[in-house]
């Protein structure tokens, strides 16, 4: 009996306790240490962002280059949220955040309905050119989005004549269709047994009824996944809104943050507070729907 494997037989029980080799223990320790070090590389900028959002301009300059730059200003709790108060009262970030929430909510509903219907037709129905549309979807996934921005801008402004208040449609309509979300729906729908559809057809349900009453209720994981991706995409969108919108009151939060940053008299603490405000909804949405995202990718046959 060696030191690496020590076996102890428990009386009246046929149980063998095997001591793990030291190499595996050392490997796990190294694995967690490396993982913790990599995590800190991503956490430190977030800590600095939050800490600076609670400080005045003078205190940020004073703590710059020291470990105190990663710690919030707990010494002046009465002024802890002054930068946030200035952000919402003078720069009206709440209005821009509400714009982004409205755009994201409408975009999520349209994405689920339009992309879900397209994926259901490609996955479950038979029609001429089905393989062609599958190939087009796969091709469009690898095409960079930036290549279609100029043609899309020309269509929205010249062909559809989206001007004035109709500029809002220029934000909502392009975000309502995503070939990647169609691909996710196709992957998930292909895992749903046909027996559900056949049973619904025997009860007299139409194709649309099957989609809304049978397929969608069984697709909650992928719906949550698409909703999170759509929310993050709309919330973080900066380039397209600045190109299509000319009225400041319609700007989403990311586009508004650039305007705030360039405003005379804005301090670094205000900028950091605006970044924290823009990041909080993404953290909340992702944490709330994390388990559904994992289920959606797993059931769709994709690797995280």
Tell me the pLDDT band of 108, cut-offs 50, 70 and 90.
Answer: very high
Confidence at residue 91, expressed as pLDDT on a 0 to 100 scale: 81
Q: What is the dihedral of CA 285, 239, 159, 96, to 10 degrees?
A: 50
Taking only the tens place, the pLDDT of each residue in 120-129 is 988 888 888 7
Nearest to 270 by CA among 89, 84, 98: 84
Phi, psi (rounded to 5 degrees) for 3: -70, -30
Over residues 164-209, the pLDDT tens digits come to: 667 788 888 888 888 888 988 988 888 888 888 888 888 888 888 9
Q: Where are the domains of the chain?
A: 8-86, 91-299
Rounded to two decimals, what is the model's pTM? 0.77
User: CB-side exposure of 149: number of CA atoms within 13 Å?
Assistant: 12
- What is the pLDDT at residue 115? 92
* Confidence (pLDDT) at 23: 61
Beta bridge partners of 8: 17
CATH number of 91-299: 1.10.3720.10
């Amino acid at each position: 009996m060696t030191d690496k494997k020590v076996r102890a037989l428990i009386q009246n029980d046929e149980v063998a306790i095997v001591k793990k080799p030291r190499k595996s223990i050392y490997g796990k320790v190294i694995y967690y240490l490396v993982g913790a070090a990599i995590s800190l590389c991503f956490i430190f900028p977030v800590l600095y962002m939050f800490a600076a959002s609670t400080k005045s301009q003078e205190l940020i300059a004073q703590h710059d280059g020291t470990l105190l730059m990663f710690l919030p200003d707990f010494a002046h709790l009465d002024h802890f949220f002054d930068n946030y108060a200035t952000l919402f009262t003078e720069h009206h970030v709440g209005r821009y955040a509400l714009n982004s929430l409205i755009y994201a909510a409408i975009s999520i509903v349209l994405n689920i309905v339009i992309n879900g219907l397209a994926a259901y037709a490609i996955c479950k129905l038979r029609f001429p050119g089905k393989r062609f549309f599958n190939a087009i979807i796969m091709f469009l996934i690898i095409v960079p989005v930036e290549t279609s921005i100029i043609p899309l801008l020309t269509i929205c402004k010249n062909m559809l004549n989206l001007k004035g208040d109709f500029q809002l449609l220029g934000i909502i309509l392009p975000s309502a269709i995503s070939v990647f979300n169609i691909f996710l729906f196709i992957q998930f729908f292909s895992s749903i047994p046909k027996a559900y559809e056949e049973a619904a057809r025997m009860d007299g349900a139409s194709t649309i009824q099957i989609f809304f009453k049978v397929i969608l209720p069984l697709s909650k994981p992928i719906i949550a996944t698409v909703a999170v991706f759509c929310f993050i995409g709309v919330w973080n969108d900066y380039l397209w809104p600045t190109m299509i919108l000319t009225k400041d009151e319609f700007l989403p939060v990311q586009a508004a943050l650039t305007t705030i940053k360039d405003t005379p008299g804005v301090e670094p603490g205000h900028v950091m507070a605006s970044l924290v405000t823009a990041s909080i909804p993404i953290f909340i949405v992702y944490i709330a729907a994390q388990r559904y995202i994992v289920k959606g990718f797993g059931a769709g046959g994709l690797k995280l």
